[in-house]
Structure formats: C-alpha cells, structure tokens
Structure 1
C-alpha cells in the first residue's frame, strides 16, 4: 500500500477514501455532503471547515487529525485551545450567568466527553469542554438538593476529560488545577467509587513532578480508604488503584512493591469483566497492558517481561484507543532497549494507527523515533516521515 500523501488536505482525503474502497459518491453520501463539494475539496479547488473535516473523518472511520495533518496539526489546535480550558475553571465558584440544560442532557454531554477521552480525541474535548464546564459550574451552583450529587459527579468527570488534554500536552499546572477541582467535586457527589477513581487520576501530578515515592504513598493511602471490594464496581475501583500503584512503584524503582500491586491487580482483574468503571478501563486486558507498563517503568533490566507479554498477546480492539496505543508505545520502548529497532518502529506505527493524537505528542514517541532515526538507515524514508510527523529531533 502506498504511504499516505504529505501535501494537501484534498489529497489526504482521496488517499483515505481509496484505502476505504469508497467512491466519491459513497463518501459524500456517508458524510452527508454534496458530491460536487467533495470533488472540489479533493482537487484542492476549495477550502474545508472543521465540520466537514469531522464528517468526512467519521465516514472514513479515522481520526480528523489524519486528514488535517500538515494543514493544521491537531496538536497545534489543541495547544491553542488550552487557555480556554484554563479560563473556564478560573471562576468555578462564581460562574457567569447563562443557560443550563436539564440533567439528562448534561449527563449525555459529559458522557460524550468521557468517550472522547478514552478514544484519545483531544480536538473534540478542547472544542466542547470550556463551554460545558462553565455550564456545569452554573448547574452545580443552582442545583436543587435532589440533583446536586449527580451534577457534582458530572463536574468531576468533565474535569477529568479536560485534564486528559492538559496533562498529555504538558500543561501540568492546569492539569493539577483540574485534578484539584475533581477532588473538590467528589465529596459533593458522595460516591466512594468516584473518590477512588480520582485518586487514580491524581497520580498524574506525581508523574509530572517525578515524585514517585510520594505518589505511591498517596495511592496506598487511597487503597486503605477504599470501600471493601464486594461488588463489581468496588472490585474494579480497588483493582485500578493497584494497577496504577504498580506503575508508580516501578518508576520509584521499588520492584517488590511493583510486583505486589501488580499481583493484586491481576487477582482482582480476574474477578470482573473488562469494562469502563467510573471512567477507568479495568479488567484482565487492562492489567496485562499494565504488566508491560510496569516492566518498562522498572527499566531495561526488566523489559524481557514486556516482550514476553507481547509474544503471546495483543490488546483486543474493543479496549479504549488510548489504552491500546499506550501498550504499543511502551512496547516500542522495551523493543528498542532490547536491540529490536525494526519491531520498535512497527509498534510505534501501530500506536499511531490506533490513536494518532495520543501518539504524536507522547514524549516517549518523540524520543524513540529520534533514536531509531539515528540507529538505522533501512526504511529511512518512512522513519524520516514518522519522525517529522511527531516532531522528533
């Protein structure tokens, strides 16, 4: 198959249409645009707005960032939108007047944002979350008593979706503020499962500060406070905390703690089906992915554990895209450390195919792509193209 074209949004649309084996008429129908409009776009005779890009991407089953490419890199648009997220939470306790939709509609909007987070669709999050957060703060301030807990839970979920963008794009101060807002909202929701999920997310602040010993201590305290695992949600909540603690312990260089938490996560994961619980994927597949994460976190002497997982298993397609792409990003690092540069490059390409927005701005992807480019000359054109795509230096 030819490589995707670099020049022109129209050429990229035509390329992905040909890969999908669609005629222009079929794509136009699927995207609900006029056939003449699509023809003009593909030959570069007219511009294309965000709405049309998203409609075409949805019809092709790909991320909009694959179409936008060099015209307006998704990451540039996301970074430009981050200040709007910051402004949206600046007056969380003194929101401006404005409309507030009924609770069921707010629940749908927050659920959609959570789905974008799990699918690593960060452009959509930055476009929608500033207004949604402001609306949720208004709703929480004016909520009747019987709706307040529900709206507080929605605030926490929406802040978590916004944090996914802030953290992954290096806005660590904003990420910390969003996490503190989730911690402010959670007690008002009165849900111990949500509180455990927020303790899971809070670990990002320790990752960002390289404060892994403190992060492990915070997670172990959250485990002490977690509800007894006697229901599926409570089992999943505790299992996710152990899963996260194993990775933090690995980064702290504590092999025994990493193995202990990973074993407990595995035991709990075997008791529940793989699913999304309080916004976090947990189950046997998620635990297996974290086996790779722990191995890489522990360093090059332990990467054989990651390779052993990958020899026998690959993440199933029904796992969230962000989690699947993370598996291949971590696996690529293990393969690179093991002297398998070709395998590492294939893993990076798999990660890009699954979640391009997540992959492109991942620090390890840039580092490993730059290393691969220095190490080998075979397939130099593809490596150069990939390195340029993720801005590896």
Structure 2
C-alpha cells in the first residue's frame, strides 16, 4: 500500500488494481500520458481538475489518492461556503448558462452514485455549481419541465446534504433539508415527498428529538401512496425502516419492533435496489435490524450479533450502508464484551468506506474506548485511533 505522503504511488497502486496501463488511464482521464507518468513518479503535482479526472477514470473518490486524509477533510470543509452561498440564492440565482434537462439529469444521477458510494470530496466540489445551475433552470422552467427540474433539485440538495450532515455542518444540513421541503411540492410527486420526509429525520437525530422524529415519520408513512407496486412498497418500507431506528433511539421498543416488522414485510416483497435515492430491500432491512438493536441499547446488543453471525451485507449494496452495518455491529460487540471483534468490524468498515468511517462519531468514540481497554495491545489499534482522531 502506498505511503500517506506519496500521491504518485497511490495513483499507480489504484491503476494496477484497476488493471489499467498508463496509456489507458491517461486516455480515460483525458490527460496526456506523459503528464500521468510524471505524476506517478513524483516529478510534478496534479491540479484539482486533473486529480478528479484521474479519480473518476479509476472509479474512486479523490480522497483515496490524496497525500493525506486530513487534506481530504480540509477540501470538504473548504467547499462548505460555496455550498451555503448556492442555496442562499435559491430564489435569486446568479445569471449563468443552463444546459438542457437531459444533461442536468445525467449530472444529478451521477452525483447520486457518488453519495451512495460515500465519495464526499467529489460531492463537495461539484455540487455548489450544479445546485446553482439547477436553481436557474427551475426559475426559467414551466409546466412539466418545471416539475422535473424541481425533482432534480431535490436530488442534488440531498446529495449535498449527505456531505454537510456527515461532516458536522448541522445548520447547513438543516437549511438543505428545508430547501428540499420547499422544492418537493413543485415536483408533484408523492413518492418524492416521502423521500424528503425520510431525509428530514436527520434533523431530529441531530437535535435528539427522537419522539418528534418518530411522529413525523409516522405521519409521512400515513400520507405516502398505497403499496401497489415495487416503488411504492419500497418508499413506504423505507419510512418504516427509518422509523424503527428513531423509535429505538426514543426507547420505544414496541414501536421499533412494529415498524421493523412493517419494513421487513415490504422488503421481502421487492428486490434490493435504489428507490427514490434510498437503498431498500431485504438486505437493507436486515442491516436496520442491527441498527435498531443498537439504538435500543446494550441489553439488545445480542440481537445485532446474532444477525451478523448468520449474515453479512453483500458487496453490491451501497458502501455507506455496508460500512454503517459494521460500525453499528462494532458498538454492539463492544457492549457485549467483545473488543477484539469490535476492532475487526471497525477495520472492515474503514476498508469499505474510509471517509464515512473516519468521520462517524461512533467510530471515534469506540476507537477511544478500545484504546483505553487495550493500552498495551497492537500498534494497529493506536494507528487506527489516530487515523480517526479518536478522543478529539
């Protein structure tokens, strides 16, 4: 594995993993092969644009190529003011070009794949101008085009919110959610309304207003379209899945079990896929069984461990969901007196989605606890704790 301070070797490493020659990578990234050779041997650096082109060609987030994880975090935070400015001007956007709807749709769909893959550096850099363009498009559109533009805007805002929420910009996240709630009615799509209600739960988690969040989700589930096909079943099921977790945080074991049973019933009736921007299906519900057990507290930890003993999330699930499973499992294992297993789970989560894992508050808390419990243990635990800034 390349060292943390070597961009060139990192690129070469990921190129070899992708089984690409230098010429193939250069062609895919639209740069000259001589430029790539110089970057790989350290003879020159790479601009942000070149770095992102190389990362896109390799199918990884730019953070995997940066010389330091701290630089990745700094890049995300540096993009926050631009994102804040883009949404502040939602009703009076700056003048500028507006591309045709098919091009905007393609960019939003690509951004959604970044969100599902936890590619936060790429999102942070690309979303402010895209949101600005979408707000201009919305102001100019009418009829059916206005409805579709509103839907695209909601998806873009949700993608941006994933970064704001994960990186602790909770006020910005709440503003993004409010803007989603403003734009969604223009799309005239009840399924989109339900998806926004799903995302809005973040604000209740952040405020620890779990009882209020549960009421909001139950109202959204009651208002959602009847479960008549896979799409409507999945959207309703996702609301129940989310409600089960927040019910657990509220200490409502009865409500958590009820909503989990409803989510399981609907999950068993559809194929695992992405519906309205949310992964749902039998595998996602099973992951949430672990989340609910952890939400309910230490006495329920054995339920999470029992699920993990018999099942592991398949690799075709979104990386954030898979890494979240192992983060939740690690907490259950720690509560159950299994610190070694907990550390192994955290390492798996890091391998799946390093950015998501590093910035998850539970990872930092649990790594700090493991470090205290195993003061004289392997150096790898200390390295992990330092990597995720445990104890800070």
Q: TM-score range by the shorter chain?
A: over 0.9
* C-alpha deviation, 1:13, in angstroms: 3.5
- 2-side partners of 1:277 and 1:263: how far apart? 19
* Cα distance change of structure 1 residues 382 and 34 upon mapping to structure 2, 3 Å threshold: farther
Tell whether the 8 Å contact from 2:52 to 2:122 is kept in structure 1 after alignment. Answer: no
- Checking the alignment, whether the CA contact within 8 Å between 1:153 and 1:189 is kept in structure 2 is yes
Q: What is the distance in 2 between the residues matched to 1:185 and 1:121?
A: 25
Residue of structure 2 equivalent to 1:306:
304
CA distance in 2, matches of 1:56, 1:155: 27
Counterpart secondary structure, 2:65 = helix
**Which aligned pairs between 1:200-215 and structure 2 lie closer than 5 A?**
200-215=198-213
Summarize deviations over 1:231-288 as a string: whole Å, max 9, x none. 2111111100000000000001111110110011000101111111111111000000
How far did residue 226 of structure 1 move? Answer: 1.3
CA shift at 1:85, angstroms? 0.6
The answer on whether the counterparts of 1:65 and 1:356 sit within 8 Å (CA) in structure 2 is no
Q: Is the 8 A contact 2:61 2:122 kept in 1?
A: no
Q: Secondary structure at the match of 1:276?
A: strand
Gaps of 5+ in 1: none
Residues 160, 182 of structure 1: 8 Å contact kept: yes
Question: Which among 240, 243, 260 is matched to residue 241 of structure 2?
Answer: 243
What secondary structure does 1:336 align onto?
helix
Q: Deviations over 1:175-232 (max 9, x none)?
A: 1111111111111111000011111000000000000011001111111111111121
**Given the superposition, is the C-alpha separation of residues 335 and 149 from structure 1 closer, same or farther in structure 2, using an over 3 Å criterion?**
same
> For 1:347-386, what aligned pairs fall within 5 Å after superposition?
347-377=345-375, 380-386=378-384
Would the alpha carbon gap of residues 349 and 219 (structure 1) be closer, same or farther in structure 2, given more than 3 Å must change?
same
2:286, 2:135 → 1: CA distance? 38
What is the aligned counterpart of 2:171 among 173, 176, 197? 173
How well do the aligned residues superpose, as a CA RMSD in angstroms?
Answer: 2.1
Report how far residue 24 of structure 1 moved.
5.7
1:13 paired residue number: 11
Aligned residues: 391
Q: Which residue of 2 aligns with 1:110?
A: 108
Structure 1 353/52 Cα, relative in aligned 2: closer, same or farther at 3 Å? farther
Q: 1:124-151, CA deviations, whole angstroms, 9 ceiling, x for partnerless residues?
A: 1111111111111111111022311111
How far did 1:42 drift?
3.6
SS at match of 2:271: coil
Give the Cα separation in 1 of the matches to 2:241 and 2:26. Answer: 45
Q: Is the 8 A contact 2:241 2:285 kept in 1?
A: yes
1:392 is matched with 390
* CA–CA distance in structure 2, aligned partners of residues 30 and 112 of structure 1: 17
How far off is 1:20 after superposition? 6.0
Q: Say if 1:9 and 1:71, in contact at 8 Å, map to a contact too.
A: no
Q: Which residue of 2 aligns with 1:126?
A: 124
Residue 145 of structure 1, aligned match among 135, 143, 146: 143
Pick from 63, 78, 87: which aligns with 1:80? 78
- CA-CA distance at 1:315 after TM superposition: 0.8
Paired residues for 1:197-236 under 5 Å: 197-236=195-234
**Range with bigger deviation, 199-208 or 120-129:** 120-129
**2:62/2:122 contact within 8 Å kept:** no
CA distance in 2, matches of 1:231, 1:284: 16
Answer yes or no: is the 8 Å Cα contact 2:247–2:255 preserved in 1.
yes
Residue aligned with 2:274, SS? strand
Query: SS at the partner of 1:68?
Result: coil
* Partner Cα distance (1:30, 1:146) in 2: 36
Deviations 1:293-324 (A, max 9, x none): 10111111111111111111111111111111
Deviating more after overlay: 269-278 vs 136-145: 136-145
> Structure 2 stretches of 5 or more lacking a match?
none
* Separation of aligned partners in 1, 2:298 and 2:190: 37
Match of 2:158 in 1: 160
Give the secondary structure class of the aligned counterpart of 1:314: coil
Residue pair 1:373, 1:380 contacting (<8 A) in 2 also? no
Moved more, 349-358 or 60-69: 60-69
Task: Tell me, in whole angstroms, the C-alpha distance in 2 between the residues paired with 1:388 and 1:51.
Answer: 30
1:63 to 61, 64, 72: 61
1:335 to 328, 333, 336: 333
Q: Does structure 1 conserve the Cα–Cα contact (< 8 Å) formed by 2:101 and 2:149?
A: yes
User: In structure 1, what is the equivalent of residue 344 of structure 2?
Assistant: 346
Report the CA distance between 1:26 and its aligned residue.
6.6
Aligned counterparts of 1:172 and 1:100: Cα–Cα separation in 2: 30
